[in-house]
């Protein structure tokens, strides 16, 4: 079931999304060699709580036998694609770090992510981050009322593959708002003109995960961290987007 949000609900979702965006900007300024991912997680948690909001990922259950998500945000380094668990690991110059933040306030959710380099990074990694971010905005441009969900997916895939990279298949974007994850699923690959029709009042998280090498991923024994099978780097950018008056409006900006 895809929820069409009312004006009131959209205001609440927007409020959560603004906190997400502010948190990401704050974290970006704290990414440097020597800082641990646990320290970054703590900064995020403090900021979110100081806004009378909750870190939406903390305690999240994937269902089944896996452990609940143990931290406030996800921090994924280099070959880690998404869902990296913050820990006592210090960032090193040359790494790329994906920060993924979800916030719940007044019962409504916002979700966004970005990837940032630690100090100086290689040209290849720079290109990977640029192509991934650009693919997100291309996907967003296709989130218009006359389109279907996989028009977004197709546009992301086409751009990424034309640039020599690959899109992760096992994880997708998603509806977001009343819950962290709602219908529809928003894949980063697919066939034009298929999937659910996009309608005004829908709020979706578009989130390309782009690998420098092959698209195959696996999950580590911690039950969460998704890594590339070939060990090559991966980048991730995400926004929560509202379809408003037929057009996309990015909610997860400050």
Using CB under 5 A as the criterion, which residues of the chain lie in contact with Co ion when the complex forms? 111, 205
- Report what 60 binds from Co ion, ligand MF3, none; CB cut-off 5-8 Å by kind: ligand MF3
- Report what 86 binds from Co ion, ligand MF3, none; CB cut-off 5-8 Å by kind: none
Least distance (Å) between residue 60 CB and ligand MF3: 4
Least distance (Å) between residue 191 CB and ligand MF3: 23
Q: Which is nearer to Co ion, 97 or 241 (CB)?
A: 241
Q: Are the C-beta atoms of residues 5 and 40 closer than 8 Å to each other? A: no
- Report what 74 binds from Co ion, ligand MF3, none; CB cut-off 5-8 Å by kind: ligand MF3
Q: Which is nearer to Co ion, 118 or 168 (CB)?
A: 168
- Report what 40 binds from Co ion, ligand MF3, none; CB cut-off 5-8 Å by kind: none
Least distance (Å) between residue 244 CB and Co ion: 20
Least distance (Å) between residue 108 CB and ligand MF3: 15
Q: Which is nearer to ligand MF3, 131 or 180 (CB)?
A: 180
d(CA 65, CA 49): 29
Least distance (Å) between residue 69 CB and ligand MF3: 3
Q: Which is nearer to Co ion, 121 or 250 (CB)?
A: 250
d(CA 202, CA 9): 11
Tokens of 25: 């900007």
Q: Which is nearer to ligand MF3, 163 or 219 (CB)?
A: 219
Binding site for ligand MF3 (CB under 6 A): 57, 60, 69, 74, 83, 100, 102, 111, 113, 174, 180, 205, 238
Q: Which is nearer to Co ion, 43 or 112 (CB)?
A: 112
Q: Which is nearer to ligand MF3, 78 or 238 (CB)?
A: 238
Least distance (Å) between residue 150 CB and Co ion: 18
Least distance (Å) between residue 41 CB and ligand MF3: 12
Q: Are the C-beta atoms of residues 149 and 140 closer than 8 Å to each other? A: no
d(CA 17, CA 242): 11
Q: Can you give the three-state secondary structure of the chain, one letter per residue?
A: CCCCCCHHHHHHHHHHHHHHHHHHHHHHHHCCCCCEHHHHHHHHHHHHHHCCCEECCCCCCCCCCCCCCCCCCEEEECCEEECCCCCCCECCCCCEEEEEEEEEECCEEEEEEEEEECCCCCHHHHHHHHHHHHHHHHHHHCCCCCCEHHHHHHHHHHHHHHCCCEECCCCCEEECCCCCCEEEEECCCCCCCCCCECCCCCEEEECCEEECCCCCEEECCCCCCEEECCCCCEEECEEEEEEECCEEEECCCC
- Report what 57 binds from ligand MF3, Co ion, none; CB cut-off 5-8 Å by kind: ligand MF3
């Amino acid at each position: 079931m895809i929820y069409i949000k009312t004006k009131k609900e959209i205001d609440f979702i927007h409020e959560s999304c603004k906190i997400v965006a502010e948190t990401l900007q704050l974290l970006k300024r704290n990414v440097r060699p020597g800082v641990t991912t646990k320290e970054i997680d703590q900064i995020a948690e403090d900021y979110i709580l100081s806004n009378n909001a909750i870190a939406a990922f903390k305690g999240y259950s994937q269902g089944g036998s896996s452990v609940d998500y143990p931290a406030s945000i996800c921090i994924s380094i280099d070959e880690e694609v998404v869902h990296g668990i913050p820990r006592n690991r210090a960032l090193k110059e040359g790494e790329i770090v994906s920060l993924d933040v979800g916030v719940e306030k007044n019962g409504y959710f916002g979700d966004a992510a970005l990837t940032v380099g630690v100090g100086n990074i290689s040209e290849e990694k720079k290109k990977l981050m640029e192509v991934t971010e650009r693919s997100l905005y291309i996907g967003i441009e296709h989130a218009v009322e006359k389109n279907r969900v996989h028009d977004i997916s197709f546009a992301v895939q086409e751009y990424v593959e034309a640039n020599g990279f690959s899109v992760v298949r096992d994880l997708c974007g998603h509806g977001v708002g009343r819950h962290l994850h709602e219908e529809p699923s928003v894949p980063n690959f697919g066939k034009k003109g298929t999937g659910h029709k996009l309608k005004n009042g829908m709020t979706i998280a578009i989130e390309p995960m782009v690998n420098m090498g092959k698209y195959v991923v696996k999950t580590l024994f911690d039950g969460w961290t998704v890594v590339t099978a070939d060990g090559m780097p991966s980048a991730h950018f995400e926004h929560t987007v509202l379809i408003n008056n037929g057009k996309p409006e990015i909610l997860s900006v400050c």
